Amino acid sequence: MKKICFLIFEIIFTISIVKSQNNYDSKLLTKNNHADDSIIKIRLSKIDSVTKSKNPVLLFPSNSDTINIIQKIALENVVFKQYFIDGKQNEPTLSEIFGLYPLLPSNQNGNNLNECNNGNCFRVEMYNYAYNLTTIAYVNISEKKVMSVNHFPDAQPDLPLHLRDLAVHIATLSNEVKDALGIKPENKDFVMAATQTALNYSKCERSRHLCVAPTFVQNQKALWCIVDLTELNLIGIRWTNLGRDTIPKEMVTERKLQNDFITKCFCLQENVIERNSWSLKYSLTSSDGLRISDVKFNDNRILTSAKLVDMHVVYSNTDGFGYSDAIGCPEFSESAVLAIEPPVISDLIINGLTKGFVLEQKFYSQNWPKPCNYSYIQRYEFYNDGSFRVAGGSIGRGCGNDGMYRPVFRIAFAGNNNSFYEMKENKWTQWKKEKWQLCDFASSPKKQERFKINDSTNNGYYIIPNMGQLNEKKISDNAYVYVTLNHINKEEGENDLNTIGPCCNVDYKQGPEKFIEPIPEDISKKSLIVWYVPQLKNDDTLGKENCWATAKLVNGTYKTTIYPCIGGPLFVPLKK
């Protein structure tokens, strides 16, 4: 049988007419969502049929034996089907399988997945519309069994292609969009259609619906068409200013798409670096960027792993709309921002001296640097003295000139005997419970060593947030720092995580708080995870550009000029 390298379910989507916690008025829905449209009719008919069946889940009607077998195995598992019925009302809830992927090295952590080294294991991602919940199962097709199942409340998988097309179709049907643009847009004119979004005070936020924002670029502005895919309607439109010096229409950076090479060499296998007393593994993930693991210095294990879980971008603190981006492999993600170049290893040069080395990965939208296209960067710095930095951010452009970027880093420390401390009133104060804190200027101590993490033998690291001293622009990260218990036998992000936080919260609710609330757990002498979320402000002001890219004439031709914004903490070995 031909080996399957990549499978995305082309599943037909409709909405759930069920009595659940996200119940809605189906008559109002029909009126507002162009029920006479043939595509909408098909969706409504199929959802009506599936919610009356034994398993209220939309599957891919495929003739592929492999696909059908994997789905059948998953649906025979009781835990996988745990949320198919609303327990209070005893009514079906709608679920849909969004994707099926071969298991990548970044997912083979725990859960007895060491048997998955020969391409016989798959990751099945399912979304429940009623509970806004993602279920992920790992299936061994050779042994016809489900190895593990995990449920993630208030989390949404990457959208498959057919849902992106559906969102665009709904946008083109809407009179509000036509009136705003003065024309009827075509499907091909939209960008960022598969990227999840939110709109404050709408059902996207209140009822936790699945929403995306197909975006139309017109002159110096971008029109966001915010589509609710749970109810199949347009819930709002918003304009953003694209800023000065719009990239010329004909100027799109030429790149050779090395998808096959990147997939084979950096997604489907781990790579090893042994350099300057450091050793580590690295690979590209499906949605968590470039992941490093098993990080050692002088043979002492420092980190279990580190990665970039989400990239949140918000364009209005009032209306609260923006994107939640996932970044990763070019062949295993529906994200618009992907790795189309391999990771780069280079010397770390400071003041002309080599201080260590850098592992760096860039991610691009296909048409970057045109407006409403994005480019992100991850950067791991490893110093000869044992220090290291986990950093990343935006290379520039995007869908406006007043955005705020919030990358969500997950840094899992090795060992199960660690404690976490905060510098407070010139002394170290231990955090006994899981906790978060905003590292702003007002609360910053005079010393750079804001936090520290160490074991019982005092091996560990000072944690130095960027208060402006770690980048050339002297701009503070103004970061949120979270510390959570690393449950060894519970899936909380060691494998690939789907989007865990909404794009547009302007407070501490960026996703990691889900592993703290409602009852913080004890973190004294335990296995710990540090989450770090810098807040990087977009600016196109002349001379103050940040998170920005533009075109400038150089020798008579346009060249892209970038103004990256990069945040992240520095970790320095404890002094003994």
**Residues 277, 485: contact at Cβ < 8 Å?**
no
Mean pLDDT of 545-569: 83
Please choose, from the candidates 301, 199, 338, the residue with its C-alpha nearest in 3D space to the C-alpha of residue 527. 301
What average pLDDT does range 434-441 have in this prediction? 89
Query: Strand, coil or helix: what is 175?
Result: helix
Contact present, 520 and 435 (Cβ < 8 Å)? yes
Report phi then psi at 323, rounded to 5: -125, 150
Residues 372 and 366 sit within 8 Å (Cβ to Cβ): no
Nearest by Cα to 366 from 492, 277, 259: 259
Q: In angstroms, how far is the first alpha carbon of the chain from the final one?
A: 59
Residues 6+ apart with CB under 8 A from 365: 191, 192, 336, 337, 373, 374, 375
Position 6 pLDDT exceeds 50:
no
Give the pLDDT confidence of 43-73 residue by residue, as tens digits. 888 889 999 998 999 987 677 888 889 999 9
**553: which residues sit within 8 A by CB, 6+ positions away?**
559
- Region 400-426: mean pLDDT is 93
Distance set, CA 525 to CA 42, 152, 487, 499 (Å):
56, 27, 13, 29
pLDDT, residue 335, reads 62
Q: What is the pLDDT of residues 213-228, one digit of tens each?
A: 888 888 778 888 888 8
Check pLDDT > 70 for residue 138.
Answer: yes
Q: Are 39 and 166 in contact (CB under 8 A)?
A: yes
| Identity of the residue numbered 223 | L
pLDDT at 103: 85
- Write the DSSP symbol of residue 260: H
Whether residue 25 is predicted with pLDDT greater than 60 in this model: the reply is no
Contact (Cβ atoms closer than 8 angstroms) between residue 160 and residue 334 = yes
Beta bridge partners of 134: 127, 152
Q: Which residue has the higher pLDDT, 426 or 525?
A: 525
pLDDT value of position 175:
86
pLDDT, mean over the chain:
83
Per-residue model confidence as pLDDT tens digits over 289-318:
999 999 999 999 999 999 999 999 988 765
Task: Kindly indicate the confidence band of residue 184, based on its pLDDT and cuts at 50, 70 and 90.
Answer: confident
The residue that leads in pLDDT, 437 or 267, is 437
Predicted confidence at residue 110, as pLDDT, reads: 58
pLDDT band of 528, cuts 50, 70, 90: very high
Contacts of 251 (CB under 8 A, 6+ apart): 369, 370, 551, 558, 560
Topology (CATH) of 259-573: Beta-galactosidase; Chain A, domain 5 (2.70.98)
**Angle in degrees, CA 88, 90, 94, rounded to 5:** 105
Place of tokens 């660690």: 418
pLDDT at 18: 25
Burial class (CB in 10 A: 0-12, 13-18, 19+), 209: buried
The CATH architecture that domain 161-241 belongs to is: Roll (3.10)
The C-alpha atoms of residue 242 and residue 220 are separated, in whole angstroms, by 5
- pLDDT class of 19 with cuts at 50, 70, 90: very low
Mean pLDDT score, 122-126: 92
What is the rounded distance in angstroms from the CA atom of residue 178 to the CA atom of residue 175?
5
Distance CA 545, CA 562 (A): 9
Q: Span 168-179, mean pLDDT?
A: 88
The closest of 267, 268, 290 to 280, measured between CA atoms, is 290
State the pLDDT at residue 118.
Answer: 72
**Residue 535 confidence (pLDDT):** 96
One-letter amino acid for residue 142 of the chain: S
Q: Give the pLDDT of residue 251.
A: 46
In the structure, what pLDDT confidence band is assigned to residue 265 with cuts at 50, 70 and 90?
confident
Mean pLDDT of 363-379: 85
On the question of pLDDT at 207 being above 60, the answer is: no
Share of the chain above pLDDT 70, in %: 83
Q: Specify the DSSP element, H or E, that contains 310.
A: strand 300-314
| 3-state SS assignment for residue 45 | helix
Question: Residue range 489-509: average pLDDT?
Answer: 83
Burial class (CB in 10 A: 0-12, 13-18, 19+), 71: buried
Q: What percent of the chain has pLDDT over 90?
A: 41
Average pLDDT rounded to a whole number, residues 268-280: 95
User: pLDDT at position 12, please?
Assistant: 22
pLDDT for res 208: 80
What are the Cα distances from residue 45, in Å, to 39, 51, 68, 274, 340? 10, 10, 22, 57, 40
* Residue 201 CB burial class (10 angstroms; 0-12, 13-18, ≥19): exposed
Domain residue spans of the chain: 26-153, 161-241, 259-573
Per-residue pLDDT reduced to its tens digit, 474-485:
889 999 999 999
Q: Do domains 161-241 and 259-573 have the same CATH topology?
A: no
Question: Is residue 486 predicted with pLDDT exceeding 90?
Answer: yes
pLDDT recorded at residue 530: 98
pLDDT at residue 302, as a whole number: 97
In this predicted model, what pLDDT tens digit does every residue of 322-361 receive, in sequence order?
Answer: 778 788 887 766 566 888 889 999 999 998 999 999 999 9
Q: Give the pLDDT confidence score for residue 264 in this predicted structure.
A: 83
Mean pLDDT (whole number) for 509-516: 93
According to the model, what pLDDT value does residue 35 have?
64
Lowest mean pLDDT across 493-502, 511-520, 530-539: 493-502
pLDDT for residue 412: 96
CA distance 208 to 22: 8
The DSSP symbol for 1 reads: -
More confident residue, 414 or 473: 414
In 3D space, the residue among 152, 135, 115, 110 whose CA is nearest the CA of residue 495 turns out to be 110
Report the alpha-carbon distance of residue 59 to residue 56 in Å, rounded. Answer: 10
Residue that is written with structure tokens 């966001």 in the block: 224
Label residue 253 by pLDDT band (50, 70, 90): very low
The per-residue pLDDT for 199 is 63
Provide the pLDDT for residue 442. Answer: 60
Distance from C-alpha of 313 to C-alpha of 535, rounded to nearest angstrom: 10
